[in-house]
Structure 1
Amino acid sequence: MRKFGIAIFSIILFIQAAKAQQKHTLDKIAGVVGSSIILQSDIELKYATYIAQGMQPNPAFKCQILQQLLTQKLLAAQAVIDSVEVKDDEVDADVDRRMRGMIQRAGGQDRLEQFLGRSVIQYKDEIRPDIKEGLIAQRMQQKITSNINTTPQDVKKFYDGIPKDSLPTFNKEVEVGEIVFNPKLNAAEKDAYKTKAEELRKRILAGEDFGALARLYSQDPVSAPNGGDLGFNDRTAFVKEFTAMAFKLKAGDISPVFESDFGFHFLQVIERRGEQVHVRHIVIVPAVTQESLNRIKGKADTVYNLLIKSKATDFSSAAAFYSDNKDTKFNGGMMLNADNVEARSTYIPTDKLDPQVALVIDTMKVGGISKPFLFTGADGKSGYKILYLKSTSNAHKANLDQDYPKLKEYANNSKINRTVSEWFEKKRKETYIRIDSQYQGCPTIKDWSTPSSVPATAEVKP
């Protein structure tokens, strides 16, 4: 947490230095796209952030920043023509998401406001226009590429067009299935945690500060430093129990204690805007007991014996019936490649596997099923898993038989990039663009200026 706080503090120092510089010198227009302008200060602040993130000073990177801003302006201008919009609720949600991340990295809202030299509310108002334009540009680009469809013939043509000595090499990959058994506390084991949540709720109803108690006692690592504040979110952001409670209360109401997969919560609605709600909450997370682990180990052993001894029970059916992992149980238990989720690829490079899983499958044969083993999840909780090694492939040059899903993704991305490039090439020739003389030498945008425009340095007051 401390490193992130230092990084943000460094960013603010750069920003404050840049603003101090602006007090003594005039700002200038670095670029013009149609009726929109890009200020030199916009570029400098983005460059300061780049440096503060630990990157080596590289003035040439300002060319990339300007290109990014030019393309964003082009897309946003076309979005106005095509009536492409984003709703205010969507902008608010994205602003809140970004601010939650900054607050978490800074170590709390108070520290962030100290770094910024202004309130979070003021800062949100400042960044909102740029975020809105970015979202509009993103949606416009999605519209440009929405009709792209990559057929098997396209994939083959793409593959055949790659020189044989330039074909990518894929690392060793495996297909692994899992059945996950998470320990479940009984009513008696849960009671102490529910009681603690009830007691905190009573203290708030009696007049104690919600935010202060959330900082002290809530076990949500993201929202607790911010007084339990989750910002604005729609119905898809929460688990069903949380959503049901958040969207039925009025502003100011405090919910009763309720249970979800994460623990015992209660929440307060701060504000409601259409289908978005701003809430804060406190959650108490029950700890796994040895008794609950022993119980789930017994269940895992029973399922393992069933898989080994009963030919009528296959791994896919057992995963759907017994597994507690909602992400894999309805996929035949098969894990998905986290780097290729959209394609729903089940081929996972061995260097991307959870080390706990890699250690177990290293001794397995294809078609084998592991005995239940104890694992620790990303949330720090323990449970048991049974693994199934469906297939393995050694490192190899790309080929259509083994690597069709990946090659299809490459081919699709190639079509998207080509379509977007062609759109920009056409649009920039139809749009008035002027680039300040300072950036005329940038390789990627040196031909972007409208021929009739004369490069010049325009100054504006800060």
Structure 2
Amino acid sequence: MKTKLIDRLRPLMLGAVLLSGAAHAAPQSLDRVVAIVDNDVVMQSQLDQRVREVQQTIAKRGGGVPPAGALEQQVLERLIVENLQLQIGERSGIRITDEELNQAVATIAQRNGMSPEQFRAALAHDGLSFDDAREQIKREMIISRVRQRRVAERIQVSEQEVKNFLNSDLGKMQMSEEYRLANILIPTPESANSTAIQAAAQQAGQVYQQLKQGADFGKLAIERSASENALEGGEMGWRKAGQLPPDFAKMLSSMGVGDVTQPIRIPNGFIILKLEEKRGGSESVLRDEVHVRHILIKPSEIRSEAATKELAEKLYDRITSGEDFATLAKSFSEDPGSALNGGDLNWVDPDSLVPEFREQMADAQQGVVTKPFRTQYGWHVLEVLGRRATDSTEKAREQQAMSVLRNRKYDEELQTWLRQIRDEAYVEVKLPGADQATQ
């Protein structure tokens, strides 16, 4: 949870008073503001902590660890964009309860094969505070929900788009090819003139030559890239060919693992891609499917998290008291895709659902309504109407195509939205040696 500037500075002012009265106390360096971001600030302590975390991550990958000074600008920009998203979350009334946070921490520990105690010990071994880790997880959960509301919910993929994609050369290719990529982005400003474009092209060319001479890609990404994933060494994760622009997909299909592309001109700069791994895709013939219906209640600017949960609980009580599920779904559910159908999601593949929904659905008895539970979308009650195993090869292909197209649109929309909120924000950088970027 962010605080106002005066709240951040109050402990520092108190510390200054105490120090002034302690003639023999050792001098201490006070925290200071390194960036003003709309109605909030980024503190030097936050920047230092994140720089240390990035250095530890780089060290674990076995690469050379850049000095803190080489990372500060990149890390600060990341903190600024995170801060803007957290402010949007605060204004939108997004809250993470202690119960949700504890569950998220437990899930992360479980995915790493650890108990909560082992997870805490592992953090301590890496020099990370458990409380700081919890706070970072909380920030990431808020940012995820902000992006879901502002970006993901606006993305629509039509049945015709799915059909066109599956019939296209790229659609066929993506069923068999998948790439793990990293990137370096050399940006150009919006409405850049020819001089700025030429300068960026020259910089990208220099980076490419360094790579050809054996420079470490991850280290160069951290030092030179303007991409959102720069601090992760440019790691993009796995991408189906169909998620990429056609020219990129054709280029990657003929590349070997470890190869890098020459700088490629894109709308916001020049990008260099590295192919780290590739693998083929396969589809199971038989899939478990579940016929399920649900009611979704979302928190909003005018309805708090507590009020949302309370409404979901009241609807659960009304259903268990005999009221019709479908009627209540039509009246109250805020899932536009199912509300008019009485909350009916029809037959769904559990793997296509978010983990919390999938787990509740797996544990639910057929014909018994679950108690309200929370996902990133809001509060749900659900009822399983049936289960079956079916030959769904064609349906699986359509669902996969839908996911690929949504992810492609999401990636594009997210980058546009992040740049938009950054451009519209008032940001004043107070980092020594940095240009004062004020808007």
TM-score normalised by L of structure 2: 0.38
User: Which structure has the larger Rg?
Assistant: 1
TM-score normalised by L of structure 1: 0.37
